[in-house]
Amino acid sequence: MPSDREGLRAFYVEAWRKRREGLPAEPLEHQVADVIAQHPEYHDLLESGPAALERDWTPESGQENPFLHMGLHLGLREQVATDRPAGIAALHRELAARHGLHEAEHRMAECLAEALWLAQRNNSLPDEVSYLNALRRIRDAG
């Protein structure tokens, strides 16, 4: 997957185009297209051509960045698949059983986003213990 913003966004657009057109895709493209399929509110954007690659979403605009949102889903799924940090797969199963997969991932993504933001702010690695504790609080809150 590309590491620059435009390349990454183009990857999402292409994965979605392949899904819509029934074309062969790489495994990672399938994963991205699966997340996109769960977010119909982003379909028009991903089908809009260059606008999807160039637009900025800032906190001041009050709009969520769809690429960040979908990336958090993908990141969570990778964490669950590898159970890293240890215990996240079980928490994911519990939350998905209680709230459904998509809603569970949305709740968990908030914790992941905060952990990543704190790590960036502190110029450090994400604090896995604090992250797991935040996920446990969500689980325990019902």
Q: What is the pLDDT of residue 60?
A: 75
Q: What is the pLDDT of residue 53?
A: 77
Residues 139 and 72 in one domain: yes
Residues 49 and 64 in one domain: no
Residues 132 and 75 in one domain: yes
For 61, 62, 81, the CA distances from 40, given in Å and listed in that order, are 21, 20, 25
Residue type, position 73, single letter = H
Domain final position from 12, 27, 55 = 55
Residues 88 and 103 in one domain: yes
Residues 44 and 96 in one domain: no
Residues 65 and 118 in one domain: yes
Determine the structural domain holding residue 49 and report its residue range. Answer: 1-55
Residues 141 and 102 in one domain: yes
Residues 131 and 107 in one domain: yes
- What distance in Å separates the CA atoms of residue 64 and residue 69, rounded to the nearest whole number? 7
Question: Could you read off the pLDDT of 72-129 as tens digits, one per residue?
Answer: 999 999 999 999 999 999 999 999 999 999 999 999 999 999 999 999 999 999 999 9
Residues 6+ apart with CB under 8 A from 100: none
Domain final position from 16, 33, 55 = 55
Question: Could you read off the pLDDT of 13-65 as tens digits, one per residue?
Answer: 999 999 999 999 999 999 999 999 999 999 999 998 777 778 888 777 778 89
- What distance in Å separates the CA atoms of residue 46 and residue 119, rounded to the nearest whole number? 30
Residues 90 and 140 in one domain: yes
Q: Residues 130, 109, 27, CA angle at the centre, nearest 5°? A: 120
The count of domains in the chain is: 2
Residues 71 and 107 in one domain: yes
Residues 50 and 116 in one domain: no
- The pTM for the full model equals 0.90
Residues 129 and 114 in one domain: yes
**Radius of gyration, alpha carbons of the chain:** 16
Q: What is the pLDDT of residue 59?
A: 72
Asked whether the beta carbons of 119 and 111 are under 8 A apart, the reply is no
